[in-house]
């Protein structure tokens, strides 16, 4: 009897995790990829951009991180591991945003020959997005703090139930 209840619980968790993973895949990869492919197709034909990470590769990494942590958190729902995975998600996203933004400075160059100005050299751009990066880091740190507080709350409620 206990085995059937455990099996049912595990099966429900796996189905919920699969559905949540599929939704995360759909919203973090498929839909943005379709939107980004059209925009990048226009940009690549008119403005060849170099020295920045490929947006489609970054989107793939973002989707992998999102789907993994969504499934892991859903599988471990109502356990202390849920909160540890939430902290891990926050830390991983923190480092991902730093990597994706190149530390807050993005540089790229545009050969002027691609604009029909043959042999005219290059036009170099440098974007300082460090303030935006600091906002993202602040949001991630708040998310990590919230996850740690939720873990402490979960453990204290569990200990309180055991005492009562």
* Domain parsing of the chain, residue ranges: 2-163
What are 61-92's pLDDT values in tens digits?
A: 999 999 999 999 999 998 999 999 999 999 99
Residues of the chain with confidence (pLDDT) below 70: 40-53, 113-120
- For 28, other C-beta atoms within 10 Å of its C-beta total 19
| 141 within 8 A of 98, measured Cβ to Cβ | no
- The two tokens of residue 54 are 């490929």
Give the CA angle between residues 20, 86, 140 to the nearest 5°: 110
Q: What pLDDT, on the 0 to 100 scale, is given for residue 161?
A: 87
DSSP E strand stretches across 74-146: 105-111, 122-128
């Amino acid at each position: 009897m206990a085995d059937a209840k455990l099996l049912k619980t595990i099966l429900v968790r796996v189905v919920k995790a699969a559905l949540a993973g599929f939704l995360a895949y759909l919203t973090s990869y498929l839909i943005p990829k379709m939107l980004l492919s059209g925009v990048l197709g226009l940009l690549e034909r008119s403005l060849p951009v170099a020295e920045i990470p490929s947006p489609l590769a970054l989107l793939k990494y973002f989707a992998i991180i999102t789907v993994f942590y969504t499934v892991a958190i859903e599988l471990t729902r109502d356990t202390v591991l849920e909160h540890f995975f939430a902290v891990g998600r926050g830390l991983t996203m923190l480092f991902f945003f730093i990597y994706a933004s190149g530390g807050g400075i993005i540089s790229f160059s545009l050969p002027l020959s691609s604009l029909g100005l043959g042999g005219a050299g290059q036009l170099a751009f440098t974007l300082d997005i460090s303030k935006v990066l600091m906002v993202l880091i602040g949001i991630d740190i708040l998310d990590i703090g919230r996850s740690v507080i939720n873990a402490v709350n979960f453990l204290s409620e569990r200990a309180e139930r055991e005492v009562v």
